[in-house]
Structure 1
């Protein structure tokens, strides 16, 4: 199961992806689906099983995550 984190800035998305990968979490940059936003932007897909770890990483690295979505529920 995959989750998608959205961000207000590209730099936050890139920092999030790098932080996840350094922690051994498979994450990849993806476009924000039109269902979530009509503006162009970047999001980061990661395994939902790692949600608690990802939230902790974001807090530790001061990464501003706008929202997290379960891709199966979109």
Structure 2
């Protein structure tokens, strides 16, 4: 389980169906995931996002690419509630 101090990556998708499909694929591929509400500073048509450990980034990209479920955006949280956009 990811502690708050561990670096994480927030994945934002187009809709709930994509989030749930991505969650299932990632879990099946051994990537620890957590469904979270989309942070207010990040806009999305979907109210859910996926949080993964930053160290699982490459594995997540591989799994989601094969499933054609890449997120619309990925973000690294910073102190103060800000987010840096990054590529998955």
Query: Normalising to structure 2: TM-score of the pair?
Result: 0.75
| Gapped regions of structure 1 (runs ≥ 5) | none
Moved segments of 4+, more than 6 Å: none
The structure whose RCO (Cα within 8 Å, separation 6+) is larger is: 1
Aligned residues: 74
TM, length-normalised to structure 1: 0.88
Structure 2: stretches of 5+ with no match in the other structure: 1-6, 84-88
Give the structure with the larger helix fraction.
1
1:71 positional shift: 2.0
Of structures 1 and 2, the larger Rg is shown by 2
